Amino acid sequence: MSRLRILGGPGFYPGRIQITKPPLPELPHLADRLATSLTTGILTKGDQLAEFEAEVTNVLGVKYAVGVSSCTVGLTLSLAALKWKKGLKLFERKKVLIPSFTFLATATASCWAGLEPLFVDSNLDTYNMSVSDLEKKHTDDVLAIVCTHVFGNPTGVEKILEFASKKNLFVIFDAAHGFGILHKGKPIGGEGSASSFSLTPTKLLTSGEGGFVTTNDDDMAYKLRILREYGSSPGVHDTAYPGLNGRMSELHAILGRWGLTRLEDEAQNRCERVEIYKSALKDIPGITFQNIESGHRCSYKDMGIRIDSKLFGLTRDELHKVLTAENMECKKYFYPTVHKHTYFIGVPDDCPNATKLSEEMLCPPLFGNMTNTQQASIISVIIEAYEKREDIKKAVK
Whole-Å CA distances, 252 to 48, 54, 258, 368, 387: 9, 15, 10, 21, 46
Reply yes or no on whether the pLDDT at 19 is more than 80: yes
Confidence of residue 151 (pLDDT cuts 50, 70, 90): very high
- pLDDT range class, residue 1, cuts 50, 70, 90: confident
Report the C-alpha gap between 8 and 180 in whole angstroms.
40
Residue 312 confidence (pLDDT): 98
pLDDT tens digit sequence for 364-387 = 999 999 999 999 999 999 999 999
Q: What is the pLDDT of residue 397?
A: 78
pLDDT at 235: 85
**Of 371, 311, 270, 314, whose CA–CA distance to 4 is shortest?**
314
Pairing of strands 142-148, 94-99: parallel
Residue 346: pLDDT band by 50, 70, 90 thresholds?
A: confident
Beta carbons within 10 angstroms of residue 35's beta carbon: 10
Residue 174 phi/psi, 5-degree rounding, is -80, 95
pLDDT at 349 over 80: no
Instruction: Determine the average pLDDT of the residues in 291-300.
Output: 97
> What is the rounded distance in angstroms from the CA atom of residue 326 to the CA atom of residue 80?
45
DSSP state of 308: -
Pairwise CA distance, residues 308 & 326, whole Å: 22
- Least Cα distance to 330 among 307, 302, 355, 353 occurs for 302
Does pLDDT of 130 surpass 80?
A: yes
Class of domain 27-260: alpha beta
Alpha carbon distance 78, 84 (integer Å): 10
Domain ranges of the chain: 5-22+263-395, 27-260
Residue 367 contacts by C-beta under 8 Å, 6 or more apart in sequence? 18, 20, 21, 22, 270, 273
Give the pLDDT confidence of 55-111 residue by residue, as tens digits. 999 999 999 999 999 999 999 999 999 999 999 999 999 999 999 999 999 999 999
- pLDDT per residue as tens digits for the range 192-215: 999 999 999 999 999 999 999 999
pLDDT at 348 over 80: no
What CATH number matches the domain at 5-22+263-395, 2.40.50.140, 3.40.640.10, 3.90.1150.10, 3.30.499.10? 3.90.1150.10
